[in-house]
Structure 1
Amino acid sequence: MSTKIEKEDNGKKGRFVIYEDDKEAGEMTFTWAGEEKFIIDHTGVDEAYGGKGYAKQLVLAGIDFARKNDLKIIPLCPYAKKTIDRDPSLQDVLA
C-alpha cells in the first residue's frame, strides 16, 4: 500500500488530495484569502479509508505548504481547527 498527497490550485481555490494505491481516498479543500493566507474549508476522507489518519495527514500537508511559503491559515473546517488547536507546535501558521 502506498500513499501520496498532491496539491491542486487554480489561484482562487485548491485542494490537497490523498491517494492510496492511486485511488483518491480523501481531500482537504481551501480558498485563498488574499496572497498570504488561505482558508481550509473542508477535510474529508472516504469511509472506506477511515481510521488511517489520512485527514490529519492532509491538514499537516497544508501546514507544511503554509510554512514553506510563509503563508497563514484560517481553519474554518472544524476538523482542521481541532487538529491545530490541540497541538501548540502547529499554531505558528494561524492567521
Structure 2
Amino acid sequence: MPQVQLKLDEKQHGGFQLIEKDKKIGEMVLSISGTILTVYHTEVDEEFNGKGYAKVLLDEMVAYVRKHKYTVKALCPYVFAQFTRHPDEYADIWEK
C-alpha cells in the first residue's frame, strides 16, 4: 500500500502525495488559507486506476482537516462529487 505525505511550501500551497517505492503515483493539490483548505485537483497515475487510491488521498485529507479544525472548499470535481454523494459524512467540514 502506498504512503501518503503532505508537502506544503511557505505559502501553504502543495498537496497530499501518494508515494509507492519512492515514486509519486498520485496527488491531491490544495492550499490552506486561515482555516479553509481548498482542494483543486486529485489525480492518480493511470496504471493505478481502480485501486481506490483517490479515496486514500481523500481520507487522509479529511483526517488532516478534522485534526486541525479546518473546513474544505471543494473545487476539485472528485472531492466535490464525494461530498455531494455523502453529505452527512462530510457535513462538519464542507465549506459550501
Q: Do the two structures share a fold, i.e. TM-score over 0.5?
A: yes
Do 1:56 and 1:83's aligned partners in 2 also have CA atoms closer than 8 Å? no
Gaps of 5+ in 1: none
- Aligned-partner residue type, residue 60 of structure 1: D
Deviation at 1:44, TM superposition (A): 0.4
The SS at the match of 1:24 is: strand
When the two chains are superposed, the root-mean-square deviation of aligned CA atoms in Å is 1.2
Deviation at 1:90, TM superposition (A): 2.0
Do 1:72 and 1:94's aligned partners in 2 also have CA atoms closer than 8 Å? yes
- Aligned-partner residue type, residue 26 of structure 1: G
The SS at the match of 1:43 is: strand
1:19 maps to 2:34: no
Deviation digits for residues 15-55 of structure 1, max 9, x if unmatched?
000112332110000022x3100110000011011111111
- Aligned-partner residue type, residue 83 of structure 2: I
TM-score, normalization: structure 1? 0.90
The SS at the match of 2:90 is: helix
| Alpha-carbon distance in structure 1 between the residues aligned to 2:91 and 2:22 | 31
| Identity across matched positions, percent | 30
- Aligned-partner residue type, residue 43 of structure 1: T
Gaps of 5+ in 2: none
| Alpha-carbon distance in structure 1 between the residues aligned to 2:94 and 2:45 | 27
- Aligned-partner residue type, residue 64 of structure 1: A
Aligned length: 93
TM-score, normalization: structure 2? 0.89
2:50 match? 51
